[in-house]
Amino acid sequence: MAGSPVNFRTFIVVALSVGAAVFCVYVYSLNYIVGTVFASAYTATIVFITIMVIYKYITKRTKLRYAVAAALSFVLGISAFAVGAYTADDWRTGEAYNGNCSVLGRVCAVDFSSGDYKFVIEDLYLNGKPVVGKMRVTVLPAENNAAEHVATGDKLSFEASVRHVKLISGFRINGNAYRTNIRYNVSVRGDALSVVFGAPSALEKFTAGLRELLVENMGEKYGNIAFSMLTGDKYALDGEIKDYFTAAGLGHIMAVSGLHIGFLIFVLNFVLYRLSKKVRFPIILAAIAGYTVLADFSPSVVRAVIMAVISGFAVFVGGRKDLLSSLLCAFSFILAVKPMYLFDAGFLLSFAAIFGIALFANSIRLFMAKRGAHNKIASGIGASVSVSVAVTPVQTYFFGQIQLLSVIANVILLPFVSVVFITLVATLPIAAIPYCGGILHASKYLLVALDYAAQGIAAVPFTVITVKTSAAVFLCYPVMFCASGYFMMNKGKTAVILYSAAVCVLICYICAA
C-alpha cells in the first residue's frame, strides 16, 4: 500500500484485535470488576470502528479489505472474550471440590514411563456429581497394587484428597492445564483403587495398536520415540530422552507440528502425483484432518492444518500464497475458540517459529545466495536461524533457557529427520500386514543414528544456558516486525529498530531484576 509504513495484511489487524480481547479475558480472570470495565471499553471501541469502516465501505470511501478486517475483528474478538470469560468462570466452580472426595472416572491415558503408575481420567464424578474436566491420578506404592492391571477404557473409583488446579496462579495463566483440561490432581494408594474393566474407544484401540506394533518391532526405547514422533504422545517416553532431545534443540520433533504435517503432505503428494489437483486436494485434506484427530487436536497441529488448508485452497483456485496472512488467520480463529491458548508454551512456540520464518527466512536466504551459497543450503540456514531467533523469547519466559546449538542441529539434522519420518509413514502400512513388521527395522536404525546425534549435541558444554526473564520479553516481537520487510518505512527505519530494541531490553532488564 503506497505511502504506508506497514505492509497491510487484513489478519494483522484481526490478530491484534483478538489479542486485545484475550488481554481483557486475562484482566477479567484476575479481577471481575476491572475485567468487565476493560471488556466494555474494548467492545464499545471495536463496535464503533466496525460501524464506521463498514459505513465508509458502503459509501465507497474505503476498500473492501478494510471492511472485512473490521468485521472479522469484531466477530472473532467478541467470540474470544465471551469464550474466555465463560471458561474463567467455569474453572472457578471446581474449587468447591478441594479436599476429600469420592472419585469415579474413565481412564483415557496411562503413563508408566517413570516406573510409577499415573493415569488421566475423564467423565469425572466427584461426590456423585458430574464435573467438567479431567483428573491426573498418581498411584502411591502398595502391597496389593490394583494399578498394575489398569488400561485405557477402564473405570476407577476411590476416595482421596483432591487438589483443584487453578487456572491462574498469581499473575500467570496455567496454559498447560487449560490445553489438557486437567482440572484436578490426586494421589491415591494402589490398594485403595477399585477397577471396573472397560473397553477403549476406536481411536484408543488404534493408537494402542500402533504403539504395540512399533515397540514390538523397534524395541521399547525406539518404538516409543517413533510413537512420539508420529502422534505427539510422550506419556510412554522416558524423561531422560526428552531432556537430551530438548537440550539439542530437537524437542520439537516429539510434538506433532507443521513439520509433521508438511512431511505427511509431501508423502501424499508423492503417492498421488498422477491425480489431478481437484481429486488430490480433498484426499490430502481428509488425511490431515484424520491426523489432527490422532494428535488430539494439539494447537500446533491445528495451526498447521489451517495454514495447509489455506495454502492448498490458494493453489487450488490459482491464488497467491501468503505465509504471514495464513499464520495470522490461524492465530485469530484458534484464539476465538480457545482464547487461553495464548498463554500455552506449545501454542506460542508453534506460532513464533512460523512468524520468524515469515519475517526473516527469505531475507537470509537471499543474503546467503548472493554470496554464493547453494539455494537449498541457504534456505535451510535461513529457516533455522529465523526459527531460533523467533522462539527464543518464548523459551526464556517459559523454560528459562536457550539451546545454543539448536540452529546447527536443525540445519544438519532436519533433512535426516524428514527421512526418518517419511520412512516411518511409508513402511507402517506394510508393517501392519502379518509377519511384515520387520520392515520397521530400517526406521529403527535411522532412529538410533538420530538418537546418538541428539545425545552427542546435548553433551557439548554450554549447550543450554539459563536465562531469567519476565513477560516483558514478548516486546521483542514488535521489534522483530519492525526489522522485517513488512515494515516499509523508507526513512528512519534503522533508528526505529534501534530505539525499539533499546526500550525492549531496558524494560526486560527492569522487569527481570
Q: Please tell me the distance from the alpha carbon of residue 192 to that of residue 429, in angstroms, as a whole number.
A: 42
If one counts every other C-beta atom within 10 angstroms of the C-beta of residue 399, the result is 16
Q: Which three cell numbers stand for residue 13?
A: 489487524
Place of cell 483432591: 162
Quick: pLDDT tens for 376-429. Answer: 788 888 888 888 888 888 888 888 888 888 888 888 887 888 888 888 888 888
Residue with cell 514478548: 474
Query: In the prediction, which pLDDT does 115 show?
Result: 64
337: which 3 cell numbers? 475458540
Nearest 5°: the CA angle 125, 126, 131 is 60
| Distance (Å, whole) CA 448 – CA 373 | 31
Work out whether the CA dihedral 281, 283, 284, 288 comes out positive or negative.
positive
At residue 209's C-alpha, the angle toward residues 206 and 210, to 5°, is 85
Closest CA to 117 of 193, 181, 179: 193
Three-state secondary structure call for residue 321: coil
Q: Determine contact, residues 120/182, Cβ cutoff 8 Å.
A: yes
Report the distance separating Cα 80 and Cα 461, nearest Å: 44
State how far the Cα of 320 lies from the Cα of 7, in Å rounded to an integer.
16
Q: Residue 52 has which C-alpha cell?
A: 464506521
Largest separation between any pair of C-alpha atoms in the chain? 79
Strands (E), 31-177: 99-111, 117-126, 129-130, 134-140, 155-164, 168-169, 172-173
- Write down the pLDDT at residue 2: 45
Sorted by sequence, the CB contacts under 8 Å of residue 179 that are 6+ apart come out as 298, 299, 341, 344, 346, 347
Contact 232, 179 (CB under 8 A): no
Integer Cα distance of 443 and 431 in angstroms? 11
**What does the alpha-carbon distance between residue 333 and residue 14 come to, in Å, rounded to a whole number?**
10
Q: Which stretches of the chain drop beneath a pLDDT of 70?
A: 1-8, 113-115, 143, 312-321, 489-490, 492-493, 496, 503, 506-513
**Phi and psi, residue 464, nearest 5°:** -120, 130
Of 127, 437, 372, 403, which is closest to residue 243 (Cα–Cα)?
Answer: 403
**Of 165, 153, 43, 158, residue with least CA distance to 94:** 165
| Residue 21 CB neighbours (<10 A) | 30
3-state secondary structure 472-513: HHHHHHHHHHHHCCCECCCCCHHHHHHHHHHHHHHHHHHHHC
Residues whose CB falls within 8 Å of the CB of residue 53, separated by 6 or more in sequence, listed in order: 62, 66, 67, 69, 70
b/e map of 220-257 (b: 16 or more CB within 10 Å)? Answer: ebbbbbbbbbbbbbbbbbeeebbebbbbbbbbbbbbbb
Pair type for strands 99-111 and 401-403:
unpaired
- Distance, in Å, from the CA atom of 289 to the CA atom of 305, rounded to the nearest integer, reads 7
The DSSP output letter for 361 is I
**CB of 416 within 8 A of CB of 439?**
no
CA distances from residue 475 to 237, 493, 502 in whole angstroms, order as listed: 35, 18, 11
- Summarize the chain as % helix, strand, coil (round to 5): 65, 15, 20
Question: What is the C-alpha to C-alpha distance for residues 408 and 249, in angstroms, rounded to an integer?
Answer: 9
Number of residues assigned to the chain: 513
